[in-house]
């Protein structure tokens, strides 16, 4: 039995998604025999484990709980969580943490930085460029393009712009989530996700790929309203699966990921094109990553247990 603190919520647009992940993770760990305590960070940054009513005093009051833990499982997606903030906090106080270290989380959360790492690792990405919020009024770009916040998750603020006159509204939508915007060419291909895990012994491997079937943009609404359709394992030729797996493992290593991460690709006639990386992906039993590992024979309860054991081994 391991003492685990599961953290959910967070100060970002993925707050509700994180609550669902954290609740499911905590229940699965308890079912697996671990001693679990759950903490929620409010949208205002207040830790509910503490007695304080503001971020500073509540975190101060929550520190003894973190000190109680043998492992922290930060199921916080997006900024101030997945971006390495919680991993850094745990590193400072010397507590093993499930998932990627701070550097990998920070780079993986930044879509432009991720592209630079991918290209350096020999992986293809969509052509694009970054625009500061202060400059969006001066941008002209030939449609179609995809407009997205540089650092945001769950497709919040992402738009597929089919007409040039719709670009200003898409830019305004994106800057509501970040002060920098990424404008990319539209890549035509099958949407394939690959999940990679690093086990307690240091061996990392990829689960069977998952294909997303979406007419148009796989946006926030489709992700969470139940209308998304997935195929696991994806119907791929052996050569295609081998290319995707190799690319996912290369990206996992290039970023320095740990725990589990999801690599999202477009599979084109020329091969895989990396779309983005999630270093703390959705983790309910119905989420994409657990579905992929279920297809490999690793059930949900076993998956989260393996992540805890990997964190313990890494922190030893």
Q: Give the pLDDT score at 151.
A: 85
Q: Give the pLDDT score at 177.
A: 87
Please report which confidence band the pLDDT of residue 7 belongs to, taking 50, 70 and 90 as the band edges.
very high
List, in order, residues 6 or more apart from 176 with CB less than 8 Å away.
157
Residue 1 has pLDDT above 90, yes or no: no
Q: Give the pLDDT score at 185.
A: 93
Strands (E), the chain: 3-9, 35-41, 71-74, 124-125, 128-132, 145-149, 159-161, 180-185, 190-198, 204-206, 210-213, 229-231, 260-268, 271-278
Torsion angle of C-alpha atoms 139, 141, 147, 151, degrees rounded to 10:
-50
Please report which confidence band the pLDDT of residue 50 belongs to, taking 50, 70 and 90 as the band edges.
low
Domains in the chain, start-ordered, CATH in brackets? 3-98 (3.40.50.20), 106-124+188-311 (3.30.470.20), 127-185 (3.30.1490.20)
Q: What is the pTM of this model?
A: 0.91
Coil vs helix vs strand at 132: strand
The string of pLDDT tens digits covering residues 88-131 is 999 999 999 999 999 999 999 999 999 999 999 999 999 998 98
How much is the average pLDDT of 181-204? 95
């Amino acid at each position: 039995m391991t003492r685990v603190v599961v953290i959910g919520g967070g100060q970002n647009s993925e707050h509700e998604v994180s609550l669902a992940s954290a609740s499911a993770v905590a229940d699965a760990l308890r079912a697996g025999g671990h001693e679990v305590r759950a903490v929620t960070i409010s949208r205002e940054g207040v830790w509910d484990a503490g007695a304080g009513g503001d971020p500073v005093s509540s975190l101060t009051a929550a520190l003894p709980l973190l000190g109680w833990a043998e492992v922290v499982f930060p199921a916080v997606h997006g900024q101030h969580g997945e971006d390495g903030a919680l991993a850094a906090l745990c590193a400072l106080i010397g507590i093993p943490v499930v998932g990627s270290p701070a550097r990998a989380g920070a780079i993986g959360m930044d879509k432009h930085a991720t592209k630079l790492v991918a290209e350096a690792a020999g992986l293809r990405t969509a052509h694009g460029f970054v625009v500061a919020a202060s400059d969006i009024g001066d941008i002209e770009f030939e449609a179609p393009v995809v407009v997205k916040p540089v650092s945001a998750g769950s497709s919040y603020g992402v738009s597929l712009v089919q007409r040039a006159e719709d670009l200003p509204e898409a830019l305004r939508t994106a800057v509501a989530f970040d002060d920098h915007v990424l404008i990319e060419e539209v890549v035509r291909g099958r949407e394939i996700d690959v999940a990679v895990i690093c086990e307690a012994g240091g061996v990392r491997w990829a689960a069977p790929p998952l294909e997303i079937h979406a007419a148009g943009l796989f946006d926030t609404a489709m992700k969470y309203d139940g209308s998304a359709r997935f195929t696991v394992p994806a119907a791929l030729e052996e050569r295609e699966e081998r290319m995707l797996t190799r690319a996912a493992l290369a990206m996992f290593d290039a970023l320095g990921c740990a725990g589990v991460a999801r690599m999202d690709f477009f599979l084109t006639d020329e091969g895989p094109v990396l779309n983005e990386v999630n270093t703390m992906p959705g983790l309910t039993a119905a989420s994409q990553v657990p579905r992929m590992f279920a297809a490999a024979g690793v059930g949900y309860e076993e998956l989260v247990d393996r992540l805890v054991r990997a964190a313990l081994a890494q922190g030893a």
